Amino acid sequence: MVYMRTMTKPGRHELVSQPDVENLLQATGCLAQLHTLSCPTDCLAERYRSITAQCNNRQHPRWGSANIPYSRWLPPEYEDTWGTPRGWDPDHIYHNFNLPPVRLVSQEILFTRNDNISLDSTLSHLLVEWGQWIDHDLVLTPQSLSTTAFRTGVDCTRNCSRDSPCFPIEIPPSDPRYGIQRCMPFFRSAPSCMDGVGPNLYREQLNSITSFVDASMVYGSSDNQALELRDRSSPLGSMAGNSQYSDGDLPYMPFLPRPQTHLDPCGPREGTPPRDNATSCFQAGDSRANEHLGMVVLHTLFLREHNRLVKELHDLNPHWSPDTLYQEARKIIGAIHQILTWEHYLPRILGQKAMSTQIPPYKGYDPEVDPSIANIFATAAFRFAHVTVQPIVTRLGPGYAANSHYPSLPLHQSLFASWRVVQEGGIDPVLRGLLLTPAKLQIPGQMMVEELTERLFQAEGGMPLDLGALNLQRGRDHGLPGYTSWRRFCGLSVPNTTSKLADILGNPTLAHKFLQLYGTPHNIDVWMGAISEPALPGGRVGPLLSCLLARQFRALRDGDRFWWERKGVFTDTQRTHLHPISLSRIICDNSHINHVPVDPFSRTENPDAMLACSSPLIPKLNLSPWKEPHLDPNCGPIPKILSGYSLLCNSVIIFECQPGFELQGTSTISCNVQIQQWSSPPPMCQDTNECEQQIPVCPQNMECLNLPGSFSCTESSSPSVVSVVTAAIVVISGVAGMVAILSCFRRRFAKTS
């Protein structure tokens, strides 16, 4: 048995068995962290980022990678040196006051009736969705693997006692829910297995996905996950699609295996019409893909975009392998996400002035910049958009008109409702709604809609949760310092009185409420204070959020060796063609919608303002710069091989054989500039004779017939052509392979007829 340090009270320990420790290491990714990293330096390692983001920075190979602790910009402030959350002990004193219960803060300041909201005059709801989409590319904090108390074994969902990892949210007596429930279940975030930052080695939390804007929510953040999401039988490097349903000629994501022991969380709910062949949750690169219909839509769009890109790239470069096509499409989609986020999304959030001063023009990759996600960003700053979410999910038919087949829904009925996409018109109705619906405007007195504070996950059954209270509790769980500490960190004025707080918030009533709840501005939870600041000109966040968001996004850009603007990542011509890309173009190419706004993040009030997808104002991505040249300027024609693939990587040609063939010769050749010749002749791909392998590939009563690139199993006694064809297990790769197989069938037919 081994002891693991507890995170509850000093002097206590939690006893965990060695097998449990090993399971924890495996499940949290800690096992990988214990291994020494050796970064490859070959051409492919320079051309493509790894799935895990390891070795992006060669001097610090774990910076920004999956399964590392969040970075800290300020030391954590826990209740004790063991990492007990702020507010764990209700009687604990902070700056001479107790912290208020988070549910009380939510009720007093955040709660907003669904019908009491103001609409954003300039921004669409698709901008709100994009914020969450990018959040899912950057941040995923795993919760404790246990749902029972370590010390007592009590079920955390049925008990209100604080016993790690249970950190339940207290329901105050003034709450309408008080007579029904006394607490909401809440589980602490899993602690990182690595040492924390700073001399005191405080408890740190884990980011289980890559920090970079690299479309990890499409492709995954582990090698095994990435492989599971691919169509391994595709010669094009495609992502796997749904085998049961499709949206006309366009695919859906594949389903996850259906649960055997309980109801599918993504299936139709009680009270909805009965459905045949009930769907399951979709499988994607991020586990939150099914959270609500907006996420399902964006996941589906980019799966389709990947598969569209690999087809076009294959037409340009038929000698590229499936892996090369996959990696090139992934690289392009990563660049698209960076362009849309930094050039279309962030200026609207920060405002142009703050954007230009806090995220100045790109000057190149800086290996001294740590791009890892900061705890304050993950746990507070990038949760700002929760107060801009509409309470209604609008769905619209062709022409952006209301349609009775897929009516608009209360938000809580769209959570984990993936079945609605398959059964109710695909992704198009939701997309039209996102394009035409404005975002909710965040103003004092209209913070967070009751769909999120009173009905979160209500459709799944059980007691609904409160997103605002969850955000506040998570910040306390992570030991985030209070609001004024972060104002000081950003070089902003620090309010010490109600009047100074009122000046900063521009709202004396709100400042008075804060002081009634918290006693002092220093105790205000940072997320609560940050979202309460009035927005900067042209933006949607105040000074504190502007500082924190800009700092993180600048680090994500400058500390990324594969940033799309960095010289050598793409050619000059490729960058020129990538730059005009728009989300409207992605929608046109991957849905049945044929009219879109020029700027999908801006509010469109009238469908007549939409433009046809054929408009020159919505340009297509021209992939011609991705076509490999046929000639090297020094060594002449670039060799290709039969039954194989090749890739020109800088001055090196990398060769690979198609399935069923073995490489004979060197796998790489390079151009010798001095003598203007290739370093050696290209290799050859020799057919693998599966029939001569030690382990038989055919049943004992069948005869093995070797075919170019494959084999067939035939009946031992004079098989007919039909039996050869029907029994064949064939992998046909290229025209040459097809011709050879047909020739083999002709010879076989001549012998048996």
CA distance 554 to 369: 9
DSSP character at residue 673: T
Instruction: State yes or no: cis peptide before 682, omega within 30 of 0.
Output: no
Would you call 525 exposed, middle or buried from its count of C-beta atoms within 10 A (0-12, 13-18, 19+)?
Answer: buried
Pairing, β 668-672 against β 677-678: antiparallel
d(CA 292, CA 184): 21
CA-to-CA dists, residue 360 to 336, 363, 374, 555, angstroms: 20, 9, 20, 12
Q: How far is CA 192 from the centre of its chain?
A: 21
d(CA 124, CA 358): 25
Q: What residues have CB less than 8 Å from 67, skipping those under 6 apart?
A: 28, 29, 30, 32, 33, 52, 206, 207, 208
**Could you tell me the two tokens for 562?**
């594969």
Residue with tokens 């000046």: 503
* 362: its two tokens: 């790109």
Question: What is the Cβ-side half-sphere exposure of residue 439, based on CA atoms within 13 angstroms?
Answer: 27
Q: Are 452 and 471 in contact (CB under 8 A)?
A: no
What is the C-alpha separation between 208 and 217, in angstroms, rounded?
A: 12
Q: For residue 271, give both structure tokens.
A: 């009270």
369 contacts: CB under 8 Å, gap ≥ 6: 555, 558, 559
User: Which amino acid belongs to residue 633?
Assistant: P
Angle at 303 between CA 300 and CA 308, to 5 degrees: 120
Catalytic residue among 136, 306, 314, 595: 136
- In angstroms, the CA 400 to CA 595 distance is 9
Containing 76, the helix (H) or strand (E) segment is: none
Both tokens of 17, joined, read 């068995």
Spatial distance between the Cα atoms of 501 and 493, rounded to a whole number of angstroms: 10
**412: annotated active-site residue:** no
Residue showing tokens 């047909």: 742
Query: Catalytic residues, which ones?
Result: 136
